[in-house]
Amino acid sequence: MMFLEKGDLHFVLDVLAGLGKLYVPAESNGITRFVPYGGEKTQVWLQTNTAISPKEILFPATETLYRYETGRGKETVKPVADHHAPLILFGIRSCDLQAITCLDDVFLDGEFVDELYRERRETATIIALSCAKAGPHCFCQSMGLDPLAHRQSDLQMYDYDQYYGLEANSDRGRLLLETLEKHDLLSVSGRENPVPALEFALEVETEGITEKLTGMFEHPLWEEVASKCLNCGICTYLCPACHCFDISEKLDNAHCGSKIRCWDSCMFSGYTRMAGGHNPRPGKRERVRERFMHKLCYFPQRYGKYLCTGCGRCLAKCPVGLEITKIMELVKEVENDA
């Protein structure tokens, strides 16, 4: 393990910014999210995880798929030429990195590869940061994660009192360490104090939940829990792992426009409403069920992991307290006679 004095962090960020497009957690306009590093004026935020997840860097809330021109007998389609500088994502927490692995499953791992996501993802170097404490809504440990480290990072940073301990998990991570060493920013001596296990205020039992949910599609529980949902969709917009999107048109004028993709939400009635009016998920019961089933049952069945990483953002921001942790507890408690 190599060590970095916390006081030298801004030198490290300056070096990283020279290697690619560097994103750091920061406070920006009163909200914490990942922003392009802009030197000293960037108010780096490392106390807790950010309010908005880093998902938007790899999978933007809105992006252009292609541009087109029509009319006067000609039609042209121009895919967006997008040559990215290599991305460096600094300070990603275990929960958000786990969510990135979920996005990888969806966008990279099948018969069809999403090229826009791939271009960003394959150039991204991920520098993970261990959590110093668990927030009031955090439950990553219950979802099977280690809040101190995630093996799919390129470089793992451990938060020790005055130092960060650095460990490379990939060639890219090792190259970063070498680069930082050349700048005399690292030392081999430091204190590798064992970090005490984090105290979680929130714990939930997930054992067997996918199997139990498999038989609970028609359970009255969904009607009950859905009644207070406002279908506002904040849970899905803040979720670091929710990947659903819409594709629509943006017209510049009668002849030119773009095809755009933007995040969508299973909480909205228009999400599944078909031309002609039929909607397979017409009410709150169906939509709320879909969200929890997707995260805890369907996604695990398809990809072998939960689509919830315990980051707690949906718990923190749900206006009616419809918390996935409570749903998991309810699912565990109820009789399943379906």
Partner 1 sequence: MPEVAAFSGQRLAGVDDVRRINPLVPVQAQITRAITETHDTKTLYVVGLDGKVPFSLNPGQVAMLSLLGVGEGMFSGVDAGDHLEFSIKKVGALTGALHEVEPGQIVGLRGPYGNGFPLEFCRGKNLLFVAGGIGLAPLRSLVRFCIKHRSDFGGIHLVYGARTPGDLAFKGEIAGEWVAVEDFAISLTVDQGDRDWQHHVGFVPNLLRELKPAPDNTVCLVCGPPAMIKNSIVVLEELGFAAEEVLTTLEMRMKCGIGQCGRCNIGSCYVCLDGPVFRLADLKRYSSEY
Interface contacts to partner 1, rule CB under 8 A: 15, 18-20, 65-66, 68, 70, 75, 77, 79, 86, 106-107, 110-116, 122-123, 171-172, 175, 179, 182, 217, 243-249, 251, 257, 259, 261, 264, 266, 271-276, 278, 280-281, 286, 290, 293-294, 297-299, 301-302
AA identity, residue 5? E
Q: Which two tokens stand for residue 226?
A: 């859905």
Three-state DSSP state, 73? coil
At its nearest, how many Å lie between partner 1 and the CB of residue 250?
A: 10
C-beta of 198 vs 283, nearer to partner 1: 283
Nearest to 24 by CA among 157, 170, 186: 157
C-beta of 151 vs 217, nearer to partner 1: 217
Distances (CA, A) of 78 to 68, 73, 132, 259, 304: 6, 17, 47, 10, 37
At its nearest, how many Å lie between partner 1 and the CB of residue 192?
A: 28
C-beta of 51 vs 244, nearer to partner 1: 244
C-beta of 24 vs 106, nearer to partner 1: 106
At its nearest, how many Å lie between partner 1 and the CB of residue 27?
A: 28
At its nearest, how many Å lie between partner 1 and the CB of residue 106?
A: 5
At its nearest, how many Å lie between partner 1 and the CB of residue 141?
A: 26
C-beta of 148 vs 175, nearer to partner 1: 175
Residues of 118-132 as b/e, b for ≥16 C-beta within 10 angstroms? Answer: eebbebbbbbbbbbb
Q: Which two tokens stand for residue 195?
A: 């970090």
At its nearest, how many Å lie between partner 1 and the CB of residue 70?
A: 5
C-beta of 97 vs 180, nearer to partner 1: 180
AA identity, residue 137? H
The alpha helices in 215-283, defined as continuous H runs, are 221-226, 234-238
Distance CA 133, CA 197 (A): 9
C-beta of 41 vs 83, nearer to partner 1: 83
C-beta of 119 vs 167, nearer to partner 1: 119
66-75: long-range contacts at Cβ-Cβ below 8 A with a sequence spacing of 24 or more?
A: 66/258, 66/259, 67/256, 67/257, 67/258, 67/259, 68/256, 68/257, 68/258, 68/259, 69/255, 69/256, 70/255, 70/256, 71/254, 71/255, 72/255
At its nearest, how many Å lie between partner 1 and the CB of residue 95?
A: 21
Under 8 Å between Cβ of 106 and 59: no
At its nearest, how many Å lie between partner 1 and the CB of residue 85?
A: 9
Residues of 147-175 as b/e, b for ≥16 C-beta within 10 angstroms? Answer: bbbbebbbbbbbbbeebbbbbbbeebbee
